Every structure is written in C-alpha cells, then in structure tokens.
Amino acid sequence: MKRLRLLAVSVLAVTALAASAAAGDFVDLRRIEPVSGDAAAGAQKAATLCFACHGADGISPVPMFPNLAGQRADYLYQELLRYKSGSRPESAMTALVQPLEDADLRNLAVHYGGLAPDLPAPAEAPAQEVLARGGTLFREGDPARGVPPCQGCHGADAKGHPLADAGADSPYRAYPLLYGQHPAYVATRLRDYRSGALAHTSNDFIMTAVAQRLDDASIDALAAWLANLPAQRQAR
C-alpha cells in the first residue's frame, strides 16, 4: 500500500515536470495563428516611429538595420514580441517596442509585410568566387560539413518557405525571407544563432543547429550572395 502511494506520488511529480518543461522552456512556433491587423493603422505608426531607421518604404538606409518590406508578417510579429519580452539581444528595438500594445505590433507587422521588397543593389559587388560559394551553400548546403541547403526552408528564391501558407496549421508560417537583406545584418544574425544567443523559440533551435555548422567565410559568402540577389535579377 505504502509502495503504491509512493509510486503514485512519483508519477505525479514526473508528469508535473514534463508539463513545466513543455510550457516553460521555449515558445513553440509550430502552430501559430496567422497574424492579422490594420495595415493603414500600422503605416501611420511606422511613419512616426520606424521610418528613420527602416526607411519610408521598409528599405533601410543603414546596413545594420534590416529591410522589412515584404518580410512575412507572421515572422515580423513574432520578432516584435521578442524585442518586447527581451528574448532578442538588447538593441535600439528593445526600448522602442516597450510602450506599444499588442494591436500595434500586429498592425506594424501587417503593414511592412504588405510592402514590395523592391530592393536597391548594394553599392559594392563582392568577388565572383564569394558569390559562387554563397550561391552553392544556399542551394546545396555543404553535406561534408553537415550544412543543410538553406533553400529548403527559406525558398529557392529566398522569398520564404514554400509551404508557409499551406493551410492554417502550416508550421512554416514564421520562417523569414532572406531576399536582398543587408549583408552586415545577415552575418550578425548568423553569428548570434551560432553562439547560442538565440534559444527562445522552436525556430531558434532550428536555426542554431544550422548556424553552428557555418564558419566565418561561409557566413560572409551567404550574406553577400543574398544581398546581391536583386542585382542578379536585374542583370538578367
């Protein structure tokens, strides 16, 4: 009888532990509601709060400020939540989003997600071999080092996961597009994933595993190739 009670108590304890691990350790982004909001209200807020750093049209004038135009709204909303909760490293964004309401974050995400990613070509074209290495890594990965092809998750054209909108329960909704993103920003992000600094969501875990396989030369080549996608399109 005593043994039975002991067993019951330990089963309860184990169940409680499992429940707290599942609920507390990370944000599970595999099943998220598609974000909706008021794009016009978002545009109004953006015109006063965001345009100085992210540009009037969501194309940022400074390399360390990411372009937002045409980025997936679901991804943008999740990132804004993260600046608010402090789970992305401290930056200009952290203080900025503190006074904003949840509805503001949704409206801003929908606004920027709806803008055309009409990106200018970078001022300096990188060396051909750097571009070639970046393109190969993106399309094919580097199986010898365990690097998966980026295109599997970010799309052959780097415009997002091909199944992001495949049904309301798509687990790929918050996978970002990388097309034409500023190279300095992309390289910094990849190094942050690699160092383990981003370990808050299920999507962080995925990208951390990828980035830990990348050396510095690969990171720089990938960032250069992604930034030059718009230029390559225009040249064709």
Under the binding rule (CB under 6 A), the answer on residue 119 touching ligand HEC is no
Q: Considering beta carbons, is residue 52 or 127 the nearer one to ligand HEC? A: 52
Q: How far is the CB of 188 from ligand HEC (least distance, A)?
A: 6
Binding segment for ligand HEC (CB under 6 A), chosen from 2-10, 12-20, 62-70, 118-126, is 62-70
Q: Considering CB under 6 A, how many residues would be counted as binding ligand HEC?
A: 42
User: In the range 174-193, which residues lie near ligand HEC by CB under 6 A?
Assistant: 174-176, 178, 186, 189-190
User: In the range 135-164, which residues lie near ligand HEC by CB under 6 A?
Assistant: 137, 147-148, 150, 152-154
Closest by Cα among 172, 195, 191 to 183 = 191
Q: Which secondary-structure segment (H or E) carries 8?
A: helix 2-24
Determine the Cα–Cα distance for residues 113 and 106; give it in Å rounded to an integer.
Answer: 10
Pick the binder of ligand HEC from 92, 103, 127, 156 (CB under 6 A): 92
**CA torsion 23→29→31→33, rounded to 10°?**
110
**Radius of gyration of the chain from its Cα atoms, rounded to whole angstroms:** 20
Cβ 55 vs Cβ 66: under 8 Å: no
Under the binding rule (CB under 6 A), the answer on residue 115 touching ligand HEC is no
Determine the Cα–Cα distance for residues 141 and 171; give it in Å rounded to an integer.
Answer: 22
The pair of structure tokens assigned to 191 is 């190094």
Q: Which amino acid is at 6?
A: L
Under the binding rule (CB under 6 A), the answer on residue 222 touching ligand HEC is yes
Binding segment for ligand HEC (CB under 6 A), chosen from 11-19, 31-39, 68-76, 123-131, is 68-76
Q: HSE-up of 201 (CA within 13 Å, CB side)? A: 21
Angle between helices 73-85 and 102-113 (to 10 degrees): 140
Per the rule left: phi > 0, alpha: psi between -120 and 50, beta: everything else, 127 is: beta
Binding segment for ligand HEC (CB under 6 A), chosen from 1-9, 20-28, 91-99, 163-171, is 91-99
Angle between helices 39-49 and 102-113 (to 10 degrees): 100
Under the binding rule (CB under 6 A), the answer on residue 32 touching ligand HEC is no
Q: How far is the CB of 33 from ligand HEC (least distance, A)?
A: 16
Under the binding rule (CB under 6 A), the answer on residue 91 touching ligand HEC is yes
Cβ 104 vs Cβ 37: under 8 Å: no
Pick the binder of ligand HEC from 84, 88, 133, 173 (CB under 6 A): 88
Which residues contact ligand HEC (rule: CB under 6 A)? 46, 49-50, 52-54, 64-66, 68, 71, 76, 79-80, 88, 91-93, 96, 108, 137, 147-148, 150, 152-154, 174-176, 178, 186, 189-190, 198, 201, 203-204, 206-207, 210, 222
